[in-house]
């Protein structure tokens, strides 16, 4: 009897049922999509930050940043016997390997200090370098005092620091990043976030050898393969392996990886390092290890992952906050409007059914039965809206995953306030601290399905229907049989 009457009443009020169901469906679909987008952006941000951190690395120790104005552009020194002269031009070529001029280096003994610090379970060192190759033709008589591209006059025996044309000559400078690493350190540091895609990895027997790993993207661009020889600081270095990032959204730490002692020798930097990557014994001990390292190494910069996360200024961080806050309030507002619409339509329907409810009460219906009738109708309307909203929400998520929208990766500022480069620098990166990126990587945004969100969305729709039914039932229960009889008369 109850079900039959319920079905008949809903069928007789299709317009009201459709309006209430559509309002709740839109609200529920919005809740589902916004929550999926929020989860997707958070996942993307975590992915981007993971590529910046480096697998297994909790802290980094780096040298102090250079003061503004120190360093300068790359300079190339040529002697009188360098190059070949042909008529009015001299053909020159020179390759140099140098440390980052914007960051000081650390003594190699710093690694021993870090390793002996209580709470440190693993550590490894790296030396960040840039290899620059000058090649071109210059006038045999020099530039005649003309200013070069930097606005300075080249001194005798030097070539301009940057590519271009001037004084009848043409020249260019090609650069790539080099990272000297400990071949045995694979659980922490740069090698922990790459995998060998061709050839072999470096091993402990490669110490001091002229061998290298090359980033897959850089190798593809420059047509470098395993077994080829590349010029590093004027020496022929054999490529023994091609490596790629284990993260699909992040670049590798450098274009070329050399054994640390080989990099030190070729660069002439001596027994120095740029960065020490540190792994703490537990998450709870990171702060204590950082404090201890700061005390032990007052002239170095000690940076943790949490500090890096607080400096992320890329679009992922702001997008997460925007979507979360805006989406939450928008969902609340839309849900509130949908429920309010349901309540108003239900109350309006009850007012139009004065005769019906009054007559039913006159023939013996109790107030509770009347309330259950109205609440049942509203709950079914809410359930219909929830199911439709669930379908719309799932379709929206599928569309997002098919379109695969991209957002710019986190443009993290160096933990030390330095410039671009470092562990996630990739092909354009330079030397520097691990917690830096040289460019924003495009990250595909995925909207994951969440079962609890889907269930909660349908529950909210049913709850909205019950709220509307409670108000409508309360209004219907207050009607009296006498009022119904007067309405009939």
Mean pLDDT by 10 residues, the chain (489 residues): 66 76 83 80 64 63 66 53 63 79 83 93 91 74 44 42 51 84 86 88 90 93 94 92 76 86 91 91 85 91 70 55 71 79 75 71 76 79 85 88 68 37 36 39 69 78 78 71 57
pLDDT at 284: 78
Overall pTM surpassing 0.75 (yes/no): no
In this predicted structure, what is the pLDDT of residue 3? 65
Q: What local confidence, expressed as pLDDT, does residue 178 receive? A: 93
- For the chain, what are the domain ranges? 2-52+316-405+445-488, 64-145+166-299
d(CA 399, CA 36): 12
């Amino acid at each position: 009897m109850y079900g039959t009457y319920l079905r008949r009443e809903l069928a007789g009020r299709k317009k009201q049922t459709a309006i209430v169901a559509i309002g709740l469906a839109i609200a529920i679909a919005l809740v589902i999509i916004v929550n999926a987008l929020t989860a997707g952006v958070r996942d993307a941000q975590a992915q981007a930050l993971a590529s910046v951190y480096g697998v297994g690395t909790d802290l980094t120790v780096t040298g102090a940043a250079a003061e503004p104005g120190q360093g300068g552009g790359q300079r190339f020194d040529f002697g009188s016997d360098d190059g070949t002269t042909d008529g009015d031009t001299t053909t020159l070529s020179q390759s140099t390997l140098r440390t980052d001029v914007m960051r000081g280096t650390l003594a190699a003994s710093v690694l021993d200090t870090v390793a002996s610090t209580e709470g440190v379970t693993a550590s490894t060192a790296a030396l960040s370098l840039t290899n620059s190759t000058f090649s071109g033709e210059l006038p045999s008589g020099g530039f005649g005092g003309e200013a070069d591209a930097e606005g300075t006059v080249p001194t005798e025996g030097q070539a301009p620091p940057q590519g271009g044309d001037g004084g009848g000559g043409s020249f260019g400078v090609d650069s790539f990043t080099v990272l000297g690493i400990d071949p045995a350190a694979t659980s922490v540091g740069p090698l922990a976030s790459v995998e060998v895609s061709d050839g072999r990895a470096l091993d402990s027997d490669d110490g001091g050898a002229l061998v290298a790993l090359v980033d897959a993207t850089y190798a593809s661009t420059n047509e470098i393969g395993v077994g080829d020889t590349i010029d590093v600081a004027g020496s022929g270095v054999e490529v023994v392996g091609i490596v790629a990032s284990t993260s699909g959204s992040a670049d590798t730490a450098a274009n070329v990886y050399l054994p640390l002692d080989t990099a030190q020798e070729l660069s002439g930097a001596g027994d120095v390092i740029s960065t020490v990557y540190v792994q703490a014994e537990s998450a709870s001990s990171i702060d204590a290890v950082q404090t201890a390292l700061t005390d032990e190494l007052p002239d170095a910069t000690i940076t943790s992952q949490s500090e890096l996360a607080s400096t992320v200024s890329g679009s992922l961080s702001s997008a997460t906050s925007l979507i979360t806050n805006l989406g939450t309030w928008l969902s609340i507002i839309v849900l509130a409007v949908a429920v309010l619409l349901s309540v108003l339509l239900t109350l309006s329907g009850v007012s139009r059914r004065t005769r019906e409810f009054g007559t039913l009460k006159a023939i013996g219906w109790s107030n509770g039965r009347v309330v259950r009738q109205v609440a049942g109708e509203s709950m079914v309307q809410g359930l219909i809206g929830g199911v439709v909203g669930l379908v719309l929400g799932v379709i929206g998520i599928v569309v997002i995953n098919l379109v695969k929208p991209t957002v710019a990766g986190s443009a993290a500022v160096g933990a030390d306030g330095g410039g671009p480069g470092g562990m996630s620098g990739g092909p354009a990166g330079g030397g520097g601290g691990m917690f830096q990126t040289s460019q924003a990587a495009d990250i595909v945004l995925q909207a994951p399905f969440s079962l609890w969100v889907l269930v909660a969305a349908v529950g909210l729709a049913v709850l909205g229907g019950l709220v509307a039914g409670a108000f409508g039932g309360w209004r219907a229960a207050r009607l009296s049989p006498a009022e119904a009889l007067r309405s009939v008369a």
